[in-house]
Amino acid sequence: MADQIHVARAGAAAGQLGRLAYIDWMRGLACVLMFQTHCYNSWLNSDARKTEFYGWSQLLGTLPAPLFIFLAGISSAMATQRLREKGVARNAIARTTILRGAEIYGLGLLFRVQEFVLGFPISPWTDLLRVDVLNILGLSMMLMGALCWATDAGTPEKSRRRAIAAGLVAAALAAVMAPWLWTTLRPRWLPWPLESYINGVHVYGHPQPWLFPLFPWVAFALVGLALGFLLFSDFAKKKEAWLFAAVGGAGVTACGLSLALDAAPVRLYSSEIYDYWHTSPEFFLMRCGVLLVLLFLVYAWCRWGWAQKGFSPIIQLGNTSLLVYWVHIEFVYGRFSILPKGRCSILESTAGLLAIFLAMVALSLLRTRWKKRKAKALRAGPAPAAATAESG
């Protein structure tokens, strides 16, 4: 889903695929976790839903959305820094990022239209305005473009330092404000489609934890943005392994700090507002810690493990994550579901999951080959015309 910046491919052009493969691998991991969550949630029967297996499946399903948004922040930082080092004007950089974010946001709206049409007449019209991952991903990119524009300091190094600080501060503010914006400071004066972007209220009268409002979800992108700028620094290029080890250690520390703050006798919020598992900054800190640990483990697997030994279906999925996200939904939840919804055993659903995985890898390969063929044709296009002109 976060392939919008195409960082891995840009790195490949610069001979840095080994450095950046971890981004696509992590994005591909998010796709696999998303597949299993959706498949088991859609197809398992009532008895299977009572098992511990299903509980673990859905727990793992809490990772894909933060991963996609977090990786979008890293990708945005890397793309922005490259453009800065090439001397591109800050207005042009911001325009590129913001327009790409607007494109993702528009695709999110189009996706909701598709779901409504394919689900008609069962789908309620209000689903057209539901705040989903693509909507927040697009808005987050636009906000990051604006933040990078505001923190531009004339030189890439100064701009990077300012963006890191601003990203972390903005992420902290978004996480801290979320509990209030979901409860006592709810902007009830806004129409529900707009309020939903603040707290995910939708049409239910109170915020829904399964939706993706800006608070706190944009904070994952902002943390990713700050980390992305750090990973692009000169220090990171020289001491990359050590930096990633420090990132993993910071993740473990963040998880421990989350538990310590949750157990602390002094609280920032009243008991009516505090909800550790949904809106608290402590829970956000825990999820950020998990993301940082995962980033380190994936980096280690890509650098010293077998991730890049031959063809990697995980990296392949990461290259086309938006496409496979879009398509698999219809074959799991939609009218074209390959298995009967709510009537399958764990074994049957697992077989369906394997079929979805293989089909999405095949679709991803077709997409990649088509793009390569198209790019090759475009490069070869001007040659005949030039030859004709010379012969004339």
| Residue 155: Cβ within 10 Å count | 11
Query: What's the pLDDT score for residue 55?
Result: 95
- What amino acid occupies position 342? G
Nearest to 224 by CA among 66, 12, 35: 66
DSSP 274: -
User: In this predicted structure, what is the pLDDT of residue 267?
Assistant: 87
* Short-list 165, 187, 188, CA closest to 177: 187
DSSP three-state, residue 344: strand
DSSP letter at 44?
Answer: B
In a domain, 130, yes or no: no
184 in any annotated domain: no
Structural domain of residue 33, as residue ranges? 18-54+310-374
Is 320 inside a domain boundary? yes
Q: Rounded distance, CA 331 to CA 20, Å?
A: 31
Whether residue 67 lies inside any domain: the answer is: no
The Cα 13–Cα 8 span in angstroms is 9
Q: Which amino acid is at 263?
A: A
Q: How far, in Å, CA of 330 to CA of 250, rounded?
A: 38
**Residue 245 tokens, joined:** 């080890």
Nearest-CA neighbor of 31 among 234, 276, 263, 319?
319
Give the containing element (helix H, strand E) for 160. Answer: helix 156-181
In a domain, 321, yes or no: yes
Q: Residues 246, 236: contact at Cβ < 8 Å? A: no
Residue-wise pLDDT tens digits, 276-334: 999 999 999 999 999 999 999 999 999 888 888 888 999 999 999 999 999 999 999 98
CA 295 to chain centre: 13
**Backbone conformation region of residue 91, classed left if phi is above 0, alpha if psi is from -120 to 50, else beta:** alpha
pLDDT digit string, tens, across residues 20-55: 889 999 999 999 999 999 999 999 999 999 999 999
> From first to last of its 392 residues, what are the pLDDT tens digits of the chain?
544 444 434 333 333 444 588 999 999 999 999 999 999 999 999 999 999 999 999 999 999 999 999 999 999 999 999 999 899 999 999 999 999 999 999 999 999 999 999 888 888 999 999 999 999 999 999 999 999 999 999 888 899 999 999 999 999 999 999 999 999 999 999 999 999 999 999 999 999 999 999 999 999 999 999 999 999 888 888 889 999 999 999 999 999 999 999 999 988 999 889 999 999 999 999 999 999 999 999 999 998 888 888 889 999 999 999 999 999 999 999 889 999 999 999 999 999 999 999 999 999 999 999 988 887 777 776 554 444 333 33
Of 126, 145, 138, 114, residue with least CA distance to 335 = 114
| Count of domains for the chain | 1
Q: Does residue 202 form part of some domain? A: no
Q: Residue 80 in contact with residue 94, Cβ under 8 Å? A: no
Residue labelled with tokens 């909701």: 112
Residues 33/6, Cβ–Cβ less than 8 Å: no
- Amino acid present at 372: K
Distances (CA, A) of 176 to 148, 168, 207, 212: 22, 12, 16, 16
b/e string for 195-216 if b means 16 or more Cβ within 10 A?
A: bbbbbbbbeeeebbeebbbbbb
CA distance 351 to 2: 27
Does residue 241 belong to any structural domain of this protein?
no
What is the torsional sign of CA 48, 52, 55, 57? Answer: negative
What is the pLDDT at residue 382? 58
Does 47 map to a domain?
yes
d(CA 50, CA 54): 7
User: Among all chains, which residue has been given the structure tokens 């919008």?
Assistant: 4
